[in-house]
Amino acid sequence: MKLLSQIFAFFFLALCAAIFSNCSNDPVANGTGSNAGETELAGVITVTNSSGDPLARAAARVWVLHEDTIKVAFEDTLNESGTLEFKSTIRAEDKSSIQLIETHSGDSLSVMRWVDLGKNPSQTLAAVASASLKGTITNNGKGVEGATVYILDKSAVTDASGNFEIQNIPEGVHYAFVEGYFGKFSYQMETGLDESATTNNIDIAENIFTVVEDFENWKSRQTLLGKSFGQGWWFICTDSLQGGGSRVQDGISSPNILVSGDSAKDGSSLHLIFDLDEETLGHYGVAGFTIGDDFEEDDMFSFYDLRSATAISFDAKGSGELFLQITKRSDDGEREYHKTWPVTLTDEWQHFTFTAEDFDTELVAVNSLNFMVESDAEIYLDNVRFDGISPSMWPSLGMRF
């Protein structure tokens, strides 16, 4: 009977993930290395301003990402209709499965959009408002002076306190490279955050990591990581999807699921209360997110290869027991579910770390990561990370059917 209840819970958990991961209104085409061996980039780019009029005569560039840098592969100027048709031979080391299209007028970057020109060579993009990005670089909590922070070819040097500001970049999440005496590393940074937000406050003493979510600027259901490519959607569900009696106090769209102040870990944190019905066969509650769109669509990454991750880690407190679960595809294409042993939440924040051994499976072809309860629980969650993966590595880990 226990096995049967697990099967029911897992089946509807997968259904829940599929429903919410398909909510994106702004899909961005991505690749999986299908351009390997090719030496040409070709496509047609059309760019409009915020009013829908052509962004005439703006400069346009195509960038390709490497683990330690990002380089221009092609540049030209949009015509009077805001269009650029191009075909360019690129160097072997610049071959990439996805590209960043960027346009700028004067000193302001207008568009930065990741695309897969090999899958969709015709791209229509809309310019967004420019913004500034502020942050701090520290080493074991002490400000790092003289470090250079790059976003494309824009840069800023940190002051004596480690503070920096980069102006005139599009609103949103960006890959930033930080370089100094310590070497060169990539991080995610986001515009529109106050100076106390942890997203842009980087301590270089930490090991390499990619932040999935820190809830500092959660204006939509997308994860921080997913905002770059139009993927990564959070979902919350219980066995009530199939008629069960379990409930969650606040759904995914409720403003009450974020808390700040003394209740939060850093800035703001996710807060969920699950009331499970033990009379329901296979009762469960889940808060999770997709890292790929598990559908047979050509334009999106379906899964990610997380075998290079040294761990999946997060901060949590509350009451009850919490499992970490992944959904993945097996070698024969079947969906699989793997969960860890439960951790017991307390009133104090704890940092939890799980490796592939804790899931008893390789972290390959992973589609979603889920925080799962099988009894009543109150959860505070923050700082979900993939340790051992730098942000600039992330696009190369995407997989398709």
The model's pLDDT over 153-194, given as tens digits with 9 standing for 90+, comes to: 999 999 999 999 999 998 889 999 999 999 999 999 999 887
95 with 39: CB under 8 angstroms? Answer: yes
Structure tokens at 385: 């990370």
pLDDT at 127: 87
Q: What pLDDT score was predicted for residue 228?
A: 84
pLDDT of 39: 58
pTM (2 d.p.) = 0.85
In the chain the domains, ranked by start, together with CATH numbers, are 2-27+227-399 (2.60.120.430), 40-126 (2.60.40.1120), 130-206 (2.60.40.1120)
Query: What span, in angstroms and rounded, lies between the C-alpha atoms of 287 and 251?
Result: 10
pLDDT at 276: 98
Let me know: does 271 contact 263? Beta carbons within 8 Å.
yes
pLDDT at 34: 40
Q: What angle do CA 353, 194, 224 make, to 5 degrees?
A: 40
Rounded CA separation 388/396 (Å): 14
What are the residues facing 148 on neighbouring strands? 157, 179
Q: Which residues of the chain have pLDDT under 50?
A: 1-15, 17-38
Of 309, 333, 397, nearest in space to 31 by CA: 397
SS3 of the chain: helix, strand, coil, percent, to 5: 10, 45, 40
* pLDDT recorded at residue 7: 36
